[in-house]
């Protein structure tokens, strides 16, 4: 049986919010089977829970933000991506601010935290959401689609009119039955352009951004002294974001995701379009090993 997962113990971390610039502490706590991923604003009295849910996504300017009754938790996509990549189904995430910490701009620190806490398989079948037919959303020259696939595969292409980006790999495909999320995706960092920083800060964004937590470029080159972590780090980070955005559906997907220039808003629109068509999806679990497709059985090795 492919089992649900949580953590063995509580693990904590402190960092700064990318857009708010404030200090943030999070605690990742084990949760019972069937709980899902639940964020909790513990700085409020009483605390407020926000469950991973595509219909709770509000602001999508440069991040995915969950909102409920005026309470927000922003920049959830990197942690959600790590949870999806390691197959964590059930978790409480306590946070004492309105934004998760950006850490180093990638999902790798969250992967480290999850591995440090230890991954616990639970005595309950993992519940997948299987895509049964093509669903697509478009906005100008941007598009994203989900198609049937017994596994989880993502293909992403980007297009930026910038020499530092165009010199790298601008297309990437990852099949999680074949590729390690931790090794091949998680370390890809968010990125931005110096000429956009003043505009973003005027709009209350990127107040905590720095060369320590993002790839930053001027008009011609990458400014980070350590360069890129992957030859296709820009495209891989967009794919990393998509993994996290898609996991807000509340269950691991059995699907092939393909996108061009998609972002948080379009990724969320795709989930809503999928859920709106009840003929396009179904729930699936695998109780017996002999009934589990190889492309599904290999998705979540305990040692990433």
Q: Choosing from 19, 78, 237, 264, which is the catalytic residue?
A: 264
Residue 32 CB coordination number (10 Å): 11
Kind and range of the H or E run holding 63: none
> For residues 223 and 193, what is the distance between their CA atoms, to the nearest angstrom?
10
Q: Give the C-alpha separation, 287 to 94, whole Å.
A: 32
Distances (CA, A) of 69 to 48, 58, 77, 263: 9, 11, 21, 25
Crossing angle of the two packed helices 108-117 and 77-86, in degrees rounded to 10: 50
Q: Which residue has the tokens 């959830």?
A: 76
Give the H or E element holding residue 274. helix 264-276
* R_g over Cα of the chain: 18
Distance CA 183, CA 174 (A): 12
Give ∠ CA 200-202-205 in degrees, rounded to 5: 40
CA distance 302 to 5: 10
Strand, helix or coil for residue 212 = coil
Query: For residue 211, what is the DSSP state?
Result: T
Q: Which of 57, 52, 22, 55 is nearest to 40 (CA)?
A: 52
Residue 19 falls in the annotated catalytic set:
no
The DSSP code for 101 is B
Residue 116 host element (H or E): helix 108-117
Query: Distance between CA atoms of 129 and 251, rounded to whole angstroms?
Result: 6
Active site residues: 264
């Amino acid at each position: 049986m492919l089992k649900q997962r949580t953590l063995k113990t509580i693990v904590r971390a402190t960092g700064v919010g990318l857009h708010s610039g404030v200090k943030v502490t999070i605690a990742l706590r084990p949760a019972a089977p069937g709980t899902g991923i639940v964020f909790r604003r513990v700085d409020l009295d009483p605390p407020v829970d926000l469950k991973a849910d595509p219909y709770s996504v509000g602001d999508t300017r440069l991040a995915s933000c969950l909102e409920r009754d005026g309470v927000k938790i922003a920049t959830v996509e990197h942690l959600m991506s790590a949870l999806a990549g390691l197959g964590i189904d059930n978790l409480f995430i306590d946070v004492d601010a309105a934004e998760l910490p950006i850490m180093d701009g990638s999902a790798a620190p969250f992967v480290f935290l999850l591995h440090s806490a230890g991954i616990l398989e639970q005595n309950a079948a993992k519940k997948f959401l299987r895509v049964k037919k093509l669903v697509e959303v478009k906005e100008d020259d941007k598009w994203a689609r989900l198609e049937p696939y017994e596994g989880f595969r993502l293909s992403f292409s980007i297009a930026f009119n910038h020499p530092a980006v165009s010199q790298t790999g601008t297309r990437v495909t990852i099949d999680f039955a074949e590729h390690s999320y931790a090794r091949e995706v998680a370390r890809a960092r968010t990125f931005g352009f110096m000429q956009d920083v003043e505009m973003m800060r005027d709009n209350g964004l990127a107040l905590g951004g720095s060369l320590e937590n993002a790839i930053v470029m001027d008009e011609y080159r990458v400014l980070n002294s350590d360069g890129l972590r992957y030859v296709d780090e820009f495209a891989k980070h967009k794919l990393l974001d998509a993994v996290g955005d898609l996991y807000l559906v509340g269950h691991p997907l059995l699907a092939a995701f393909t996108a061009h220039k998609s972002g948080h808003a379009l990724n969320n629109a795709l989930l809503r379009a999928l859920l709106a068509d009840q003929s396009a999806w179904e729930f699936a679990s695998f109780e017996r090993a002999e009934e589990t497709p190889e492309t599904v059985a290999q998705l979540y090795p305990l040692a990433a």
